[in-house]
Amino acid sequence: MIQRMLKLPKSALLAIGASLAFCGHAASAPQADGESPRLMALYRELHAAPELSFGETETAARLAREIDGLGYTVTQGIGGTGLAAVMHNGAGPVLLIRTDMDALPISEDTGLPFASTVTRKTREGESQPAMHACGHDIHMASWVGVARRMAAEKARWRGTLILVAQPAEERVGGARAMLKDGLYARTATPTHILAFHDSAAQPAGTFGWTPGPALAAVDTVDITVKGQGSHGASPQLSKDPIVTAARIVLGLQTIVSREIAPEDAAVVTVGAINGGSKNNIIPDRVELKLTLRSFSDSTRVHLVEAVRRTARGEAMAAGMSVEPDVRVSDEGANVTVNTPAFAERIAGVFRERFGAERVQRIAPATVSEDFNEFGRAAPQAETFMFWVGAQPKAVFDAAGGDLTKMPGLHTARWAPDAATAIPMAVDAMTAAALSVLGGR
């Protein structure tokens, strides 16, 4: 998941930090179950040995070993490296709890004694450093903790529990791969779906939640402007793709400002322009790389079509004989939508357990996930993804809640307070699961 830019006001962040110092709610501490040292050891092990998207072979095997003997039916190799563990416990709801497993191609610079130093091959065969810079190691350790708690508390719930360890969240392809490989046929179709993500924007010990659209849809678009090269001293002999590319970039800026309603947030970002090799040569092509973000299916379609139209129109105005090549990656993700009533219900469970001051409603984030693919494949299911604060409180306080002064997700220096976040996540997810499956 790309580094989150949660739209939480600085005043709200400071209020959260202040509430942690108070800690006055009787149910605010995680339940003591003796598992924390074991889960922290697992977290450090996973952190030191990250694997990249679609290459999570050892990671999946490690998770399978952790829950072996707890009473789950475990199936590995779903969608490549995906894992599913199922526990049937009588008639009742079917709850799916997801974790992601993959790391990022980042060279770690945290200075932690268990920091990653490994290099892995990408799906394309390129060697890259690997780091759990997005907290998936926290997610996995917590997932194991929930698996143990739910097995130990089996007398308190009825229904079916499906624990899914998903590959390739960072490439937003792992959920679709598992579903295409018959995940629900191998397990069951869920009625409720839960996940959480660690937050670099909130101090450890807090939670964030959003009803309705919570994370943006994303599309990656590559544009190749095809012109006619010439000597830089004779521009009249060219169809200059650099000038046309510049006009396309400027034209793209009006899509959101003039075509999208102000209340319907969207983002069009040009992240790279590549073209040319020398001062006095006009090249014959230029490449643009874009990311598009939106919060509805209709806006998502509109953005892609507007990008195509803008590129074609500017090329036509420049007299280009060949239309630009506009390619939309198949690694896009749909908007993540939390079922409003379900989100409010589980947030209420959290408020009751941890105290209202620790459970903050936050604005949607413009980053993206493929978690909601599980819900789209089970249209009747209720879905909810929430945030677990993981920014060390000392770091948060020193920065005064200013996100620009703290290490964030997808950075080489992300060193979360796992010792706080993991037990909080286990306790919260277990409480949510028991609420769904008949306990409180």
pLDDT average, residue stretch 13-27: 39
Residue of 169, 122, 101 whose CA lies nearest to 331: 169
Overall fold of domain 10-215+335-436:
Aminopeptidase (3.40.630)
pLDDT per position as a tens digit, 155-191: 999 999 999 999 999 999 999 999 999 999 999 999 9
Tell how strand 285-294 and strand 217-226 pair up.
Answer: antiparallel
What is the Cα Rg of the chain in Å? Answer: 23
Residue 23 has pLDDT above 60, yes or no: no
Confidence of residue 9 (pLDDT cuts 50, 70, 90): very low
Confidence of residue 24 (pLDDT cuts 50, 70, 90): very low
Confidence of residue 330 (pLDDT cuts 50, 70, 90): confident
Element (H, E) at 159: strand 159-166
Confidence of residue 331 (pLDDT cuts 50, 70, 90): confident
Tell how strand 73-78 and strand 82-89 pair up.
Answer: antiparallel
Tell how strand 119-121 and strand 281-282 pair up.
Answer: unpaired
* Torsion angle (degrees, nearest 10) of CA 288, 293, 296, 300: 0
What is the per-residue pLDDT for 15?
Answer: 40
Residue 16 has pLDDT above 90, yes or no: no
Q: What is the mean pLDDT of the chain?
A: 92
The one-character DSSP state at 335 is P
What is the per-residue pLDDT for 427?
Answer: 97
Q: Which residue has the higher pLDDT, 260 or 27?
A: 260
Confidence of residue 33 (pLDDT cuts 50, 70, 90): low
Tell me the whole-structure pTM to 2 decimals.
0.89
The helices-and-strands tally (H runs, E runs) of the chain is 12, 18
Residue of 398, 416, 410 whose CA lies nearest to 4: 410
pLDDT per position as a tens digit, 191-248: 999 999 999 999 999 999 999 999 999 999 999 999 999 999 999 999 999 999 999 9
**Cβ–Cβ < 8 Å for 53, 126:** no
The structure tokens listed for 339 are 């079922």
CATH number of 217-328, picked from 3.30.460.80, 3.40.50.720, 3.90.1410.10, 3.30.70.360: 3.30.70.360
What is the per-residue pLDDT for 439?
Answer: 57
Largest CA distance in the chain: 82
Element (H, E) at 251: helix 241-259
Q: What burial class does residue 47 get, using C-beta atoms within 10 Å of its C-beta: 0-12 exposed, 13-18 middle, 19+ buried?
A: buried
Residue of 294, 410, 3, 2 whose CA lies nearest to 171: 2
Query: Domain limits of the chain?
Result: 10-215+335-436, 217-328
Report the C-alpha gap between 211 and 341 in whole angstroms: 8
Residue 26 has pLDDT above 60, yes or no: no
pLDDT average, residue stretch 342-369: 96
Residue 405 has pLDDT above 60, yes or no: yes
Residue 12 has pLDDT above 50, yes or no: no
Report the C-alpha gap between 284 and 293 in whole angstroms: 30
The one-character DSSP state at 342 is H
